[in-house]
Amino acid sequence: MENRLRCFNLGTDDFLPKPFEFRELSVRIRAILRRAGKRHREEAEPRVQVEGLNLDPETYEVSWRGQSVRLTPTEFRILYLLATNAGHVVPASRLYTYVWGSEGGDANALRSHISHIRRKLEIDGSGPGKITSVPAVGYVLRPDASSVPASAAPAARAPAPESTPLPIARPSLPAARLAPATVMLATSEATASSD
């Protein structure tokens, strides 16, 4: 029992000791995902408007200067994070975590996606309203000096602290858009000693 209490105190959402029935595991996982889905819908990411760029994270729709632009889900997530932090350098590690869910991202893949975004939006990498590379650090979406749009997300004016966890939305995997859930399976030794 002590082992179970320790797990719950560490943030576990559920505890299923061995041996267990697969049906029970399946039902518990569905319940956790259902609860996490409710939390995610309550914490929906806001629309972002910066420099004629409009991003809707619910529908993955993008418009640039009044024209609809088709981006891949990965390109959208990159541009969304840059837009919500417009005017501030977004470290590559934060982009990797937000887009791919890990800090060990591929710099070449990120560079390639940034290039595709620039091409689709018909912008180059310098000046106001552009996505600029900051060597060995990351990227920044540079807003026009005359605008800090009132409709931009609050993060566009002040970057989120490094310790703030970023939401990870993956439209190709609906369950991945849910808030993270923890499921721990205890080993037979741990449950034998705690029962």
Which residues make Cβ contacts (< 8 Å) with residue 14, sequence separation at least 6? 28, 31, 32, 182, 183, 184
Q: What architecture is domain 48-176?
A: Orthogonal Bundle (1.10)
- d(Cα 148, Cα 20) in Å, to the nearest integer? 56
Structure confidence at residue 37 (pLDDT):
64
- Confidence at 175, pLDDT banded by 50, 70, 90: very low
CB atoms within 10 A of CB 100: 17
Q: Which helix (H) or strand (E) holds 83?
A: helix 73-84
Residues of the chain with CATH 1.10.10.10: 48-176
Structure confidence at residue 121 (pLDDT):
87
Tell me: pLDDT of 105 over 50.
Answer: yes
Give pLDDT tens digits for 39-90: 555 566 789 998 789 999 988 899 988 899 999 999 999 999 999 999 999 9
Averaged pLDDT, 91-116: 87
Work out the mean pLDDT of the chain and round it to a whole number.
73
Give pLDDT tens digits for 128-167: 568 999 999 999 998 765 444 444 444 434 444 343 444 4
Selected residue with higher pLDDT from 195 and 55: 55
86-95, 103-112, 166-175: which range is least confident on average? 166-175
- d(Cα 178, Cα 166) in Å, to the nearest integer? 13
The model scores a pTM over 0.95: no
- d(Cα 82, Cα 38) in Å, to the nearest integer? 27
